[in-house]
Amino acid sequence: MTSHRALSAELLLLGLWATAVSAQPATDIFLGAITVRDGQVQVGQLQNITDRDGYDNQPSFALDGRSLLYTSIRDGQADIYRYDFVGESITRVTHTPESEYSPTAMPGGERFSVVRVEADSSQRLWHFDTAGHEPGLLLEEVEPVGYHAWYDEKLVALFVLGSPPSLQIVDISSGRARAVAEGIGRSLHRVPSRPAVAFVHKVSENDWQIKALDMRTGEIRFLVPTPSGSEDLAWTPDGIILMGQGSTLYQWNPKLSADWEIVADLADAGLRAITRIAVSPTGDRVAIVAQRQAEERD
C-alpha cells in the first residue's frame, strides 16, 4: 500500500482539492459516441461507465480503439483499470504496491506508460505491457513527472513539477531533457496531423492560453485562450479542440470560428464540473470526466 505521504503528494500534483484519501472528490467517466458534421461536433447518449463513489479519472483510449484505460483509486491505492467496449467489462490492469496514474498508450500500441509514485515518493515515467505486466522504468533521471504525452516513438512531452512547473521534451533513448516552457497546465497533447505538441500556458491567474510547440523549429504559437478556469482539453482527429466548463462542452474549430462554440449542455446527462476529456484515435468516441454529484453518493 502506498504511504499516506506519497498519496497526498500525488493528490496535490494532480490538482485535486484534497490532501487525504477521504477528502478526494468522487469522479465518474462518461462514454459516448461523437460525430463531426460540417465542422460541428455532435455528442450521442453518454453512459456512466464507472458509476461508483470514488476516484475514476484520467481516461485514455487504446490505439486499437477497443478499450479505455483509466486511473481508479480504491482503498487508498491508485491502479490502472481497463474498460473493454465489447462486453462492457472492467478489468484491473495493474496491482502493485506503488501507485500508477495517467495511463497513456505508447506508439505501437504494445505497451502503455504511466506516472508511478514509488515507495520513496519519487514520481517517474514507467511502462507496462498491455496486460499490466513487465514494468520498466523509462526515464531514470527526469523527475518529478506529473503528466505526459507521446510525440512519437522517441520523444515524449512531460509536465515536470516545480515552481513553476515546466514543459520538457525528452529523448527516451538518451534521457536528454529540453525545457521549452514554464507555467504550464497538466493537459499535454500531440496535435493531429501536425509536428506539434499542444499545452496550456498559464500566463497569469486569469489568462490561460492554449499554445502549440513546433517540434521541428521550436517555435511556440498561440492558438486560443481557454474558457475561463478550464485547463483540460482534447483534440479530434480533424483538428477540433474540445474543452468543458461546468456542465457545458465547448469546441474550437479554427476553420469555422475564432471563438469557442457550445457543443452541448450535458447537465441532463448527469455531468457537472467537467474536467478531463479524451477522444478515441478514430474520432468516434469521447470520454468525459465529471465530478460525481452529492445525490449520487447518498
Enumerate residue ranges in the chain where pLDDT < 70: 1-24, 294-298
Confidence at residue 83, expressed as pLDDT on a 0 to 100 scale = 99
DSSP assignment of 200-227 equals EEEEETTEEEEEEEETTT--EEEEEEPS
Question: pLDDT tens-digit profile of 64-122?
Answer: 999 999 999 999 999 999 999 999 999 999 999 999 999 999 999 999 999 999 999 99
Position 254: which residue type? P
CB contact at 8 A, 233 and 11: no
Cell of 42: 455532435
Q: For residue 79, what are the β-bridge partners?
A: 72
Q: For residue 145, what are the β-bridge partners?
A: 160
Confidence at residue 25, expressed as pLDDT on a 0 to 100 scale = 82
Confidence at residue 14, expressed as pLDDT on a 0 to 100 scale = 46
Cis peptide before 144 (omega within 30 of 0): yes
The CATH fold of domain 4-291: Neuraminidase (2.120.10)
Q: For residue 149, what are the β-bridge partners?
A: 157
Domain boundaries, the chain: 4-291
Q: How far apart are CA 106 and CA 208, in angstroms?
A: 28
